[in-house]
Amino acid sequence: MASLVTRLLGSLHTANPPSKPGHVASSVGLFSALGEFVGSANALFHAYGGSSIKLLMLGSVIETGRRIFRWFITRFSIEYCTTIRLNSGDPAYEWVVLLLTQENVWRRSREFVVTANNSRRKWAVRATTKEEGSKINAEYVPTYQRPQLFRWRGYWVEIQRLGNVNAVETPAGPYGGQGTSMSVTIYTLDMNVLSDFVEDAYDRYVQVNRPHVVVHMIDSNFGPNQLWTSVKHKMKRPLSSIILPTGVVDSIVEDAKEFINTENWYAEAGIPHRRGYLLYGPPGTGKTSTIYALAGALNLEIYVLSLSSRFVDDAYLQRAASAIPKHGIFVIEDIDCAFPSRDDDDDMDDAAYTAFMHNTNPHRSVRGMARMAVPAARTAVTLSGLLNVIDGVGSEEGKLFFATTNHIERLDPALLRPGRIDVKLQYEYATRDQAEALFTRFFPERRFPQFTANGVHQDEPRASPPPAYFRQPLTADLPDPDLDSQPLTLPFLANVFASRIPPGEFTTAELQGYLQGFKTAPVNAVRGALAWVERERTERDERMREREQRRIKVKERRAAMANAAPGLTVSYTQPPASATRIIPGSSVVVNGGPAVPMVVPGVATPPTAPVVTVPQIPETPAHTNGMNGYHGVDGEKSPPTKPPVENN
Ligand SMILES: Nc1ncnc2c1ncn2[C@@H]1O[C@H](COP(=O)(O)OP(=O)(O)OP(=O)(O)O)[C@@H](O)[C@H]1O
C-alpha cells in the first residue's frame, strides 16, 4: 500500500513539467498512475475486505482529485482572465463602485449598512421600489463579502471585496474603512477589455456627476493611513452667482483654462506645470464659493485639506498631495494656520497665566508653567513641509493649487513668491455694486413679474408679511419717503437697497443672511435695511468693546508674568480667592483681606517693584488642595521669608 502511495506521489511530482511538450506526457502519466492506484486499492480491499480501508481509499481519491482540479483551475484562470485591484480612496475605486451599482451587482444582498448622508452620492443599493423614492436621504450599502459574478458587455466579470471585512460596519465610510479594496476579474485574454471596463466606469461617473462638483476630503475617522476618504457631491454653482467686482470671476476662469490648455508650453519652457492661487480677505466674502464655482465650470474635482486636521503632518500632506490626479484642484483652507499668530500668543498668555496663578506644582518654574500652558499647535505641518508640497517633490504636475486665508499678513513671504503663488486675489467687504447685484440675484424679475411693467405701489397688498424679526416700528410699518407713493421696480429697489448699505462695511455673506429673511418681500427688504445696518453696527461695537477688554486683560497678564522673575517657583500660603495684587518679587495681597505673603526664594525684592493689578481669579479645588502653606523651590515647607507688602 505504502509503495502504491509513493508511486502516486512520484507521478504527481513528475506531472509538474517545466516545459509544454512534457506537460501532456506527464499528465497522461499522472492519470495512468492514478488508475493503477485505484486498481491496487480495489485489490487490497477485496483481499482484506475492511470497510475502514475502503473509507481511507475513498478519502485519498477525493483529496487527490480535488488537488488536481485546483491545479487545472489555477492554470486556467491565470491564462484566461485579467484581474485588477482597486483601493478605497482612489478615484478609480469610486468609478467602479458606481458601475457596479448601476449594473445592480449586489441585488441579491440581504445585509446592508445604512448611512444617512448629505452627499447626494449616487451609489449604493436602491432600497425602495416606490416611484418617488424614499423620504430620507440614506445609502443602503451591501456588506457582501462573497464574490459576485455578472455579465458586462458579454464578458463574465467577478467582483470581490477584500481587506478589512468589518470595515463597512465602522462609521468610517460607506464603502469600507481602512484597507478596503476590491478585485475585478474579467474572463478574457484581451487587455483592451479591461481598459474599456475602467473607461466605462469613468464615463458613467462623469455622467452621473455632471450636475455636481465632486469634493474629496479627509475623514479623520479613517486614520492617517487613508487619503481622500470622504466624497461629497455638491450642486454646481453658476459662475454668475459669484458676486465680485466686474471682471474678477471671468479673469480667474480664463487664467485656469489657459493653464489647463497650455501643458506643452510649460514643458517646452521647462516650467513645472502647476499654478497657485491665493484668495485672501475677511471671512464670508466668497473665497470658497469662487473655487467651487470654478471647479463646476471647468468640470474639475476638488481636494480640500485643512492643515489643522488631527493627523495632518508634513508626511501626510505630501502623500495627500501626490495622490491628487492631474487637473484636480488642491485646496488648502486657512493656510495661515501653518504660521504662528498674535492670537496664539494671547491664548498662550491666558493659559500660562492661569497656570501661573493656579500653581499647583511647587516644583515648576514660572517659565516652565508658561511653556506647559502653550496651547496645542494649530497644525503639525511645518513651513518647509508646506513649501515642499507646493513646489517640491510632493507636488505633482498639472494641478491647480488654491489656498485661502483671512490673514495674509501672517503668511511667510517664502510662500507668496511667484512659482508657489502665481495669482493673489483680494476679497473685500461688499461694495455698493455688489450689494445691488446681490439684491438683483435674490429678487430676479422672472420671480417678481409684478415689479417689471409699471412698478408696484406701496399701498398695494404686500407679497408677504415681513419676518417677525423685523416687525418693529423702525422698519416695515413706518413711512419710508424713498419708497412710499411711487411705483417700485426691481432695479429701483436694488438701487435704494444698495444706497442703504454702507460700502466696505459688511461681507456678502452678511448681506445674504439679511436678504434670506425676505425671500418673497423685496420691498420690505429695502425698508428694513437701514434698521438692520444700525443694529449690526451696535452689535459689532459691543463685540469690539469686549475684544478690547480682553486685549487689555491679556496685556496686564503679560506684564504680570514678565515681572515675575523667570525660573522661579511661586507659591501661596493661602489660596488667592478674589481680586489679587501681585507685587513682583515679593508678595500677593488679597483684596481687602489680610496680605498673603508670596515667597520667591533666592531673589532679592526689587526696591522699586511696580504694582500690577490682575483680574479676579476663580476659586478652584487646586487652591484649597495643597496650596495652603509654603512650598519652596524644592517643595520644602518653611515659613515666609518676608513680611507682607501693602499695596497702594
Ligand atoms: N462674493 C460672493 N458672491 C456670492 N456669494 C457670496 C459671496 N461671498 C459670500 N457669499 C455667500 O456667503 C457664504 C459664505 O461664502 P464663502 O464660504 O465663499 O466665504 P469665504 O470667504 O470662503 O469665507 P471663509 O473665509 O470663512 O471660508 C456662501 O453661502 C456664499 O454663497
Q: Over the stretch 82-137, which tens digit does the pLDDT of each residue have?
A: 888 888 767 788 888 888 888 888 776 666 666 665 444 445 555 555 555 556 66
Pocket test for ligand 1, best of 240, 405, 406, 508 (most atoms within 8 A of CB): 508
CA distances from 134 to 120, 131, 138, 140 (A): 13, 9, 8, 12
Q: List, in sequence order, every residue forming a beta bridge with 162; answer none if it has no partner.
A: 181
Strand partners, 586: none
The residue whose CA is least distant from atom 25 of ligand 1 is 283
248 CA to middle of ligand 1, Å? 15
The per-residue pLDDT for range 227-252, each reduced to its tens digit, is 787 778 888 889 999 999 988 999 99
pLDDT-derived band of residue 258, with 50, 70 and 90 as boundaries? very high
- Check if 509 has its Cβ closer than 6 Å to any atom of ligand 1: yes
Residue 283 in contact with ligand 1 by CB distance below 6 A: yes
| 327 alpha carbon – ligand 1 mean position (Å) | 24
Give the lowest-confidence range in 268-282, 331-345, 379-393, 483-497.
331-345
Cα atoms in the 13 Å half-sphere on the side-chain side of 479 = 3
- DSSP lists the bridge partners of residue 185 as 83, 158
253 lines ligand 1 (CB under 6 A): no
Mean pLDDT, residues 435-454: 84
Specify the pLDDT at position 42: 65
Residue 642 pLDDT greater than 50, yes or no: no
- Cα–Cα dist 464/520, whole Å: 7
Please tell me the predicted confidence (pLDDT) of residue 434. Answer: 95
Decide whether any atom of ligand 1 lies within 6 Å of the 508 Cβ.
yes
Which protein residue has the closest C-alpha to ligand 1 atom 7? 286
Measured in Å, residue 286 CA sits from the centre of ligand 1 at: 3
ipTM of the complex: 0.98
Question: Which CATH class, in words, describes the domain spanning 236-338+375-425?
Answer: alpha beta
Q: Domain extents for the chain?
A: 2-80, 82-227, 236-338+375-425, 432-537, 568-648
Q: For ligand 1, pick from 248, 285, 304 the residue to mutate: most ligand atoms within 8 Å of CB.
A: 285
Residue 614, pLDDT above cutoff 50: no
The terminus-to-terminus CA distance of the chain in angstroms comes to 112
In this prediction, residue 451 carries a pLDDT of: 75
Top-confidence residue, 387 or 479: 387
Whether 244 is in the pocket of ligand 1, judged by its Cβ within 6 Å, is yes
Is ligand 1 within 6 A of the CB of residue 431?
no
CB 162 within 8 A of CB 183: yes
Q: Rounded to two decimals, what is the model's pTM?
A: 0.63
Instruction: Please state, in angstroms and rounded to a whole number, the distance separating the CA atoms of residues 124 and 114.
Output: 10
